[in-house]
Structure 1
Amino acid sequence: MRNFLRALPALFILLFCAFFSLSAQNFQFKGYVKNSVTGEPIEGANVYVTNLSTGVITDSTGYFSMFLPQGTHAVEFTYVGFESKKRNIALNRTVTINMNLEESSQLLQEVSVSGQAEDHNISSSEIGVSKMSMKTIEKMPSFMGEVDVMKSLLMLPGVSTVGEGTTGLNVRGGNIDQNLILLDDAPVFNSSHLMGLFSVFNPDMVRDVTFYRGAIPAQYGSRVSSVLDIKIRNPETERLKLAGGVGLISNRLMLEGPIGKSEKLSFLIGGRASFSDYLLKISPNKSIQDTRANFYDVTGKLLYKLNNNNKLQVSFYRAHDGFKLASDSLSAVEINASSSQFAWETANATVRWDHAFTDNFIANIVGVYSDYNAIISSPEPTNGFDLTSAVKYRKLKSDFSWFSSGGHSVMFGAAATKYIIDPGHLDPNSDQSNINELLLQQENGLELAAFASDEIIFNDKITLMLGLRYSYFHSVGERNVYSYDPTQPYSLKTITDTTFFSKGEKIASYHGAEPRFSFKYSLNPSSSVKIGYNKMRQYLQLVSNTTAALPIDRWQLSNSYSKPIIADQLSVGYFKNLNSNEYEVSAEVFYKTTQNVSDYKDGAELLLNQALETAILHGSGYAYGLEFQTKKNLGRLTGWLSYTYSQARQLVKGDFDEEEISGGEYYPTNFNKPHILNMSATWKESARVNFSANFTYSTGRPVTYPDDKYYVYGLFIPNYVSRNQYKIPDYHRLDLAMTVGPDPAKQTKWQGSWTFSIYNVYARKNAYSVFFKPNNQAAVNQANAYKLSIFGTIFPSITYNFSF
């Protein structure tokens, strides 16, 4: 299998060149989809040609365009929350149509899972892709009433996390840094508030969520496991609108509308602020009272429609978190932590220009600015310090889309990305501090990429997507690079020389092709099989020796000693719809190999290490699995059930014993969970009341326990030999929620709704970790075991949402 995956890139490059051709000319079918009441354009509406099993999605102006063969075609227009409409279109010339959709009022026929055409999962060539509307996410039970995009993804197959209260996702055997998270094209390096309790995305501002974990399109790069593409919705263009929510943890407020009398310029701005500290202070436990946790975020967008062919968008995002943890558990405090204070913040901005050369040739030019900063501080007078780190990201890219008359959807473009990493600056924060200043060397890198893809619809049975991306990266100075004695393991004691690279001078470079492809074959109108493959390269890694990533964990660029991660993934899936698309059933299998994955040496110090290559080891890995999902899209009861079986292993085998992990044998990754079962369901009791439930079960993650221990100078010292050979107890949890919305029969300017939720209904004390501490006071040779639970009790919440 591994040799086959290595041979696939060359084969797909040949296929890409062979199929990048045009067919006979057809006729253009175009138009606009709008809200029948307000006249507003509907972005993301599906225009689906049922007899050809093909379709397109409208843009931000409600516009769509496609080329179809001559004849009469059955076309269906659909969007979540609106009544679908069907039209027969006779094509013997260019046809333009304006379609007005009416908001749905039927209780039993509301599609609540996605905004796709009803059989999009069958007809499209996409594999390993999930698209979720905010309407679906908002109905799901949430922790403390906070609608959470990231937590909703954990209910999908192939996605897991190391535990409650942790940041990031583990997707198909990948680490959390192997996921590219984009908010309007800007990367998000830390996707959590309050050390992983909530995600950073304001639900009022999000339009839709697209999650790629299978055949990832060629326009995406820089990560090897998945892409999460989150779009900020466009602002209201006709009237001012105010909306928000009041909850136990945070309050939200959003304002949008036109600027001036013209509909060309409009704005959208929304913010959240937490009030967590007051809840902690009323706790009877002193340790919880001393805990501090707060955050705020602001998201905004300006939209300027110059004319029908040009549109300018400016998006921005700013977030800040402060956290002081006085204990390890919010439910059963047993172990006191230090008084260190964490803070981290993100500042993103995106400028995007959309230009339509013709109805079927569109260009997008995007500039991205992103800064992520983290700090940990200690207020102790004699050892007070501030430790800061930062990731700076600048990007310029251009995408071009061309929809041909021969059934081709072509996209091509290029991008340039600049990275600046400040890995750490330790600084005393008072004159009385005994801490000495330490400044780690800055890392600089430049990534260039070009891509092209073509989705070809041969007929109603066969669709093929071919893509090719080529990336080039080089690490540049200014910095010192150490040389080591090749006959000994890397350490500070084996440094033999130091080479200085001046500013902008190339230190190391890497490049390579990243082919992609997906293939769909329709067995019949209600079922299809799909195959997908992608090769990805990643030049930026998160370096950590903790199970759960912290805001201060170190990011590292590829350099002379750290090569880029390279992953090859092959996916095969079967998709079936039943009972007129009321039910969807899918099964996917995947196999993925990775090269140059990093792990830490036993006992390594990473945070302020000036020669990180002495603490990091590199190896290879593989992951495979089966993902099964069934959905119910229509009726009072909607939702899905998913099951994932997977395995993920790594191998680190060096030239010396000190450069091996687990004796040079394969060992499970920290996030390997073989069995995961998820259920999400919504019951529509009436036009106003919804009940929803989530249930999740997973096998416990791997942990490392001591094989034995030594008695040294009166103390018992544990000895760790094999990594991740044990596991913590299995995890399971049930959440419930009820939403009471406004009366649809009363059309008032003020619309309000209540959400009542219960997290961890049966108060299970799920173990985040199990660890041992030697009991050196005991007369016998023994150690005490401790179980750490993050949310070991029930958490009820109430939230009021409003719009005006």
Structure 2
Amino acid sequence: MRNLLKVLLACVLLSVLTSFLSVAQNFPFSGTVKNSVSGAPLEGVNVYVTNLSTGVVTDSAGYFIMFLPQGVHAVEFSSVGFESKRRNVPVHRAMTINIDLDESSQLLQEVSVSGQAEDHNISSVELGVSKMSMKTIEKMPTFMGEVDVMKSLLMLPGVTTVGEGTTGINVRGGNIDQNLILLDDAPVFNSSHLMGLFSVFNPDVVRDISFYRGAIPAQYGGRASSVLDIKIRTPETDQIKAQGGVGIIANRLLLEGPVNKKVSFLLGGRASFPNYIFKLAPNKAIQDTRANFYDVTAKVLYQVDDDNKIQLSLYRSVDRFKLASDSLSALEVNATSSQYDWETTNATVRWDHAFSPDFIANVVGVYSDYNASISSLVPAVGFELPSAIKYRKAKADFSWLKGSHTIMFGGAGTQYILEPGHLQPTSSESNINEQLLQNEYGLELAGFASDELIVNTKLTVMAGLRYSYFQNMGDRDVYSYQPGVPYSHESMVDTTHYSKGERINSYGGAEPRLSLKYSLNPTASVKLGYNRMRQYLQIISNTTASMPIDRWQLSNPYSKPIIADQVSVGYFKNLRENVYELSAEAFYKTTQNLSDYKDGADLLLNPALETAILHGNGFAYGVELQAKKNMGRLTGWLSYTYSQARIRTKTDFIEEQISNGNYYPTNFNKPHILNLSAIFKQSARVSFSANFTYSSGRPTTYPLDKYYYHGAYVPYYENRNQFRIPDYHRLDLAMTIDDKPSRQAKWKGSWVFSIYNVYARKNAYSIFFKPNNQLYYVHADVYKLSIFGSIFPSITYNFTF
């Protein structure tokens, strides 16, 4: 591997030198593309030079730049929903051009899964990347009519979840905390509303989605599996507009428009009060359940001048979920009702500055707070347990176009403050004892540089290097333990106090990234990618599904950062002038310093987590196949994934070993996943869509036997995750009826009718056992828990004016 990297780096350096020697023969060709009606800049427009088979994509300001040799070039400007335009551009000096595109009123001919050029999948160097437009997501069938960004990712290869109604996704063998989720550069630590039924992203405000699970660019870091980069729409600059929707679960409203010639705004809100739905359930416990949520997204754009732009993004999300009854075994509390509260507050300010058309800087400041709590108002056991994550970040990125090079470099500093929990009684009648866990403090510094180099018409190389450094700091105590025995509260022998800002310990290292694309012919290419990722923040949990109150932990003297190395290779082929796309990707990933809990571990209020968790290594591998149809009345994709994920903990003590020290499946290991998503455009007004998904049942641990102890039967477990719950499959259907395209009225509406779980399959979320004690015979009854064991029809009305 080292010799291969040396050869590749030598090729890159040689091609860089060659390219710089020839750059003097090229001239900059730049311009802006706008909507011919509104005058708004168009992002994601393909600017393609047909005679050179190369192109770029416009940015959020509709701007593009590229370098062309002297001569007359045929340039095509195209974007989904707009009429394409062609221009013959004579280039003998620096050239600038402005293009207006007309909206298309023809029958929809394609579903865009990427905002890139039509052959982007074979011409780009990107590997393991999916870019989905909201137009595609909005047409997909949804649960209770709510368009869901996170649920749409489950239709992509290599992405799965532990079950319905759960938060987070699992990507290529990684846990949910190994995914970096960004909303306009601000992190989202809990992406769910209503305990995982919906995601926190308002579909009306989302511009586009970039999902990286393969060769991840060097500017991203901090997570070991994937990056989900979600961008908020650029506000309308021409006139005040509004849009929204009324549904069974939630209602939405969005306002946007100009304040003056330089300032425009966007304000979107969504709220849900589904308690009336719970009252329809036959189960009394469900009838008494209470839940609601709201989220607000805002963005202000200040176009200072042609070279400077300032954007302010704000996001606020609040959830309340009250269960009629709940056994809080982790707190040793049996409450008759429990309430979960969680909220996210994010703010991002971004300054974009163009030093020149080919040298651009982005400076970003991020403020993020995530707060969660669980509480009970029952007098005898009244309590509240809040926790929080405070995140502050400043970063600067620079991009430089130099001939056939696209160079990026920058740096970032991130401060973490974790408040793990403060258990406190809510009244004098409560028998709960107060308990305060120590805060955790950390500082992460990172710098990166990358270069995407077009070596020739066949070979493109993107090489990058990221270096990250993390420091764990006081104010906190660190415990020491007796050597030669397992860590436990009984083996604790000393305590060392570190004052505020004092370094406790540190970690750091290089994170190389490399991607190669080699074109076999104009319609096929092969790609190779490698990346190393370091993660200094992770969830510590012993539950299968994530909860709002899950405990997060920073890397410390007893918990090293997660380090993941992934190699991937892919073959990409287009047919019939890019109407069909075929792809096959294979990956192999190793992961160091994974955490898993000891048998019977208590995590939530444990003041010394190192006594309850073990660390080990894991690996994952798989093959992802996908066939996609982009044009015609019938569009969509079919994907199949085969994968495996294993973990093995390392310990010197037999009593702590999991599965006898052997590798065992992760909780989210599903070997087979099949997804089908299709959209049929019957007319300019009516379209039908369908989703079908199948996956292997997730691993679980069943008792192998039982033994009698102090008057009770106790189940006996041996190896972890050696059984599986039944396989999962589901079919969803939807129909969308839009207004007539020729209708000129200001108010336009559309109806969406959807059916979730068409054949009402009772998919198992879990299998559990209850003892059935009889006089002379003791056995256990087996039960299956289904989250959505029925058909769910819904109707939603969307409008714009």
TM-score band (shorter)? over 0.9
- Corresponding residue of 2:329: none
- List gaps (5 residues or longer) in structure 2: 327-333
Is there any run of 5+ residues in structure 1 with no aligned partner, and where?
329-335
Give yes or no for contact 1:325–1:337 (8 Å, CA) kept in 2: no
AA matched with 1:312: I
**Is the Cα contact below 8 Å between 1:709 and 1:717 reproduced in 2?**
yes
Partner residue in 2 for 1:724: 721
1:30: how far off? 0.4
8 Å contact kept, 1:754–1:798 = yes
Superposed, 1:377-416 pairs within 5 Å as 377-405=375-403, 407-416=404-413
> Which string of whole-angstrom CA distances, capped at 9 and with x for unpartnered residues, describes residues 590-611 of structure 1?
0000000100000000000000
The corresponding residue for 1:295 is 293
Q: Identify the range of structure 1 (37-46 vs 155-164) with the bigger mean alpha-carbon deviation.
A: 37-46
Aligned twin of 2:230: 230
Alignment of 1:32-51 (within 5 A): 32-51=32-51
Q: Is the alpha carbon distance of 1:10 and 1:490 closer, same or farther for their aligned partners in structure 2, counting shifts above 3 Å?
A: farther
Alignment of 1:215-614 (within 5 A): 215-259=215-259, 262-326=260-324, 338-405=336-403, 407-614=404-611
Contact 2:417 2:442 in 1 (8 A): yes
AA of the residue aligned to 2:457? D
CA RMSD in angstroms, aligned pairs only: 1.6
State how many pairs are aligned.
Answer: 790
Farther-moved stretch of structure 1 (131-140 vs 25-34): 25-34
| Residues 361-381 of structure 1, C-alpha deviations (whole Å, 9 max, x = no match) | 000000000000000001211
Residues 597 and 421 (structure 1), Cα distance of their counterparts in 2 relative to 1, 3 Å cut? same
Q: How far apart are residue 13 of structure 1 and its match?
A: 6.9
Cα shift readout 1:192-250 (whole Å, capped 9, x = no counterpart): 00010000000000000000000000000000100000000011111111111000001
* CA-CA distance at 1:500 after TM superposition: 0.6
What is aligned with 1:760? 757
Corresponding residue for residue 799 of structure 1:
796
Answering whether residue 129 of structure 2 is matched by residue 129 of structure 1, we say yes
- Supply the AA of the counterpart residue of 2:484: T
Using the alignment, how far apart are the partners of 2:581 and 2:48 within structure 1? 18
- 17-26 or 154-163: bigger deviation: 17-26
Please tell me the residue identity of whatever aligns with 1:538.
Answer: Q
The match for 2:62 is 62
Separation in 2, partners of 1:452, 1:512: 15
User: Which has the higher mean CA deviation after the structures are superposed, 42-51 or 290-299?
Assistant: 42-51
Question: C-alpha separation between the residues in 2 aligned to 1:710 and 1:612?
Answer: 30
Amino acid at match of 1:426: L
Change (3 A) 1:373 1:690: same
Q: Judging changes above 3 Å, is the alpha-carbon distance between structure 1 residues 757 and 277 closer, same or farther for their aligned structure 2 residues?
A: same
CA–CA distance in 2 between the matches of 1:166 and 1:710?
A: 34
Report what 2:330 is aligned to: none
Q: Secondary structure at 2:778's aligned position in 1? A: coil
Aligned to 2:203, the other structure's residue is in SS state coil
CA contact (8 A) 1:20 1:454 kept: no
Matched to 1:551, the amino acid is P
Question: Which residue of 1 is the match for residue 159 of structure 2?
Answer: 159
Query: CA separation in 2, counterparts of 1:410 and 1:297?
Result: 37
Change (3 A) 1:772 1:542: same
- Aligned residue for 1:492, secondary structure, equals coil
- Give 1:778 deviation, angstroms: 5.5
SS in 2 for 1:782: strand
Q: Letter of the aligned partner of 1:267 in structure 2?
A: F
Per-residue displacement from partner, 1:343-400 (whole Å, max 9, x unpaired)? 1000000000000000000000000000000000012111110001100000000000
CA distance in 2, matches of 1:87, 1:591: 45
- Look up the match of 1:83: 83
The worse-fitting range, judged by mean Cα deviation, of 58-67 and 665-674 is 58-67
Q: 1:623 aligns with which of 599, 620, 624?
A: 620
**How many Å separate the matches in 1 of 2:335 and 2:91?**
71
1:156 is paired with a residue whose SS is coil
**Structure 1: distance between partners of 2:616 and 2:78:** 48
SS at structure 1 position matched to 2:734: strand
Q: Give secondary structure in 2 for the equivalent of 1:288.
A: helix
SS of aligned partner of 1:663? helix
1:170 aligns with: 170
Question: In the aligned structure 1, how far is the partner of 2:325 from the partner of 2:582?
Answer: 44
Q: 1:314-338: per-residue Cα shift (whole Å, max 9, x none)?
A: 001000001123479xxxxxxx995
Change (3 A) 1:234 1:56: same
Q: Which residue of 2 aligns with 1:785?
A: 782
Change (3 A) 1:8 1:230: farther
Please state whether the residue corresponding to 2:793 is helix, strand or coil: strand
Tell me how far apart the structure 2 counterparts of residues 626 and 486 of structure 1 sit (CA, whole Å): 44
- Deviation, 1:561, is 0.3
What amino acid is the match of 1:587? Answer: A
Deviation at 1:72, TM superposition (A): 3.3
Inter-partner Cα distance in structure 2 for 1:544 and 1:605: 9
Evaluate the alpha carbon distance shift between residue 792 and residue 9 of structure 1 in structure 2; reply closer, same or farther with a 3 A threshold.
Answer: farther
Contact 2:579/2:631, CA 8 A, preserved across alignment = yes
Deviation of 1:283 after TM superposition, in Å, equals 3.3
The one-letter code matched in structure 2 to 1:414 is G
The corresponding residue for 1:641 is 638
Which secondary structure does the structure 2 equivalent of 1:24 belong to?
Answer: helix
Q: Which residue identity is paired with 2:288?
A: D
| Residue 728 of structure 1: how far off its partner (Å) | 0.3
Deviation at 1:69, TM superposition (A): 2.3
Q: Which amino acid aligns with 1:283?
A: A
Q: 2:331 aligns to what?
A: none
Amino acid at match of 1:752: G
Quote the Cα distance in structure 2 between the aligned partners of 1:30 and 1:337.
65
Checking the alignment, whether the CA contact within 8 Å between 1:717 and 1:774 is kept in structure 2 is: no
1:28 aligned onto 2:28:
yes
Amino acid at match of 1:379: L
What SS class does the counterpart of residue 382 from structure 1 fall into? Answer: helix
Flag the 1:419–1:9 CA change in 2: closer, same or farther, 3 A: farther
CA distance in structure 1 between the aligned counterparts of 2:775 and 2:536, rounded to whole angstroms: 50
Instruction: Show the counterpart of 2:709.
Output: 712
Q: Is the 8 A contact 2:140 2:734 kept in 1?
A: yes
Shifted more, 434-443 versus 22-31: the winner is 22-31
3-state DSSP of counterpart to 1:475: strand
Counterpart CA distance in 1 for 2:712 and 2:50 is: 74
Q: Would the alpha carbon gap of residues 7 and 711 (structure 1) be closer, same or farther in structure 2, given more than 3 Å must change? A: farther
Alignment counterpart, residue 676 of structure 2, candidates 675, 679, 688 = 679
TM-score normalised by L of structure 1: 0.96
* Alpha-carbon distance in structure 1 between the residues aligned to 2:777 and 2:109: 68
1:365 and 1:98 map into 2 onto residues whose CA distance is 27
Q: How many Å separate the matches in 2 of 1:639 and 1:236?
A: 30
Cα shift readout 1:428-453 (whole Å, capped 9, x = no counterpart): 11121111111100000000000000
- Can you list the C-alpha shifts for 1:255-277, whole angstroms capped at 9, x where unaligned? 11111xx3210110000000211
Give per-residue Cα distances to partners, 1:80-110, cap 9 Å, x unaligned.
2112223333322111111111112221534
The answer on whether the counterparts of 1:411 and 1:454 sit within 8 Å (CA) in structure 2 is yes
- Greater CA drift, 285-294 or 744-753: 285-294
Cα separation, partners in 2 of 1:769 and 1:68, compared to 1, 3 Å? same
Q: Give me the whole-angstrom Cα distance separating, in 1, the residues matched to 2:390 and 2:13.
A: 37
Q: Give the CA deviation at 1:54.
A: 2.9
Deviation at 1:7, TM superposition (A): 7.7
Q: Against the structure 1 CA distance between its residues 771 and 10, is the aligned structure 2 distance closer, same or farther, given a 3 Å change threshold? A: farther
Distance 1:432 1:592, change over 3 A: same
Partner of 1:331: none
Counterpart-to-counterpart distance in 2, 1:534 and 1:488: 37
